Structure 1
């Protein structure tokens, strides 16, 4: 499958020359002659690389294209094509991965683009390899969190059982005096029953 490149430059002669060179070298190339057109293409197609001029409709047009490419979810490699070189700090601040200085020999241009492709692909693969580790760490953290809160949920029924036991104890306390009353009244009844028996024994003695 051909790698797709977006070329953004307001100099039509440069744009068409680069397009021809890259297509002969096996790339699929789209072009745009302004930052506005370039940003529109970035929204509607996916590209492995974006190459943009710096000064087009205004001095910051190239920076606008780079910013739009950085926000693209497919994460393309980005090269700044310019006749006015900038320092490395400015290049990094803009978000470009590589600076290509006009004019450039075709062979050197292709070598630099291939090197940029290789470096950017390796960085994407490295980032993708780290992603499952992060998601696994999040899952394990969630499991630990659940296990930490689980005992609190299990102890809740114990409280309700304690509440049920409390009334039972109260009933037991109320029942205790009743048992004591039964014990106290039992000898009295026996004494009353025994009294007539004594009287019956005394009666025959008089005869």
Structure 2
């Protein structure tokens, strides 16, 4: 199964170049040219990762995309791509999983994205499993009791 990425940037040259690089590397890539378009796609689609430019319609358009991604029930990994990393991010600013500074060597970009996807999926799995034990034990209890009962019947039948 190909991993799906939503790539968001208002500069067409960057959008198409990154799309080509990611598709050649085996990703299924959809694009959005604005925060507004990205938010619609995040709500209607499902992605493993969202990569968004920071500054598009406004200086904070990328933050809107990150915020929308954080609210998505499928919990995608989120990377912010920028030529202007901002040091003064406020406390209400949603944090991406990774800040990518452009221009970037494509090999470095791909290596960072792969590592980010693995880390993000591991984190999601751990979070899902942290809720699993109580429910899992409750579900397994009747099965264990049934097995014990069957084993007892088998032992007494011999």
TM above 0.5, yes or no, is yes
Moved over 6 A (4+): none
Q: Tell me: higher relative CO, structure 1 or 2? Use CA pairs within 8 A at least 6 residues apart.
A: 2
1:121 corresponds to: 121
1:59 aligned onto 2:59: yes
1:46 corresponds to: 46
Kept after mapping to 2: 8 A contact 1:5/1:48: yes
Which blocks of at least 5 consecutive residues in structure 2 are unaligned? 139-158
Can you list the C-alpha shifts for 1:151-176, whole angstroms capped at 9, x where unaligned? xxxxxxxxxxxxxxxxxxxxxxxxxx
TM-score, normalised to structure 1, is 0.63
1:160 corresponds to: none
Aligned partners of 1:53 and 1:6: how far apart in 2?
Answer: 11
Greater helix proportion = 1
TM-score, normalised to structure 2, is 0.81
Can you list the C-alpha shifts for 1:97-154, whole angstroms capped at 9, x where unaligned? 00110100000000000110111011011001111235479x7xxxxxxxxxxxxxxx
Q: SS of the counterpart of 2:96?
A: coil
1:109 corresponds to: 109
1:93-172 matches, cutoff 5 A: 93-133=93-133, 135=135
What's the CA shift for 1:95? 2.4
Aligned partners of 1:36 and 1:102: how far apart in 2?
Answer: 22
- Rg: which structure is higher? 1
What's the CA shift for 1:87? 3.8
Which blocks of at least 5 consecutive residues in structure 1 are unaligned? 140-207
Kept after mapping to 1: 8 A contact 2:38/2:65: yes
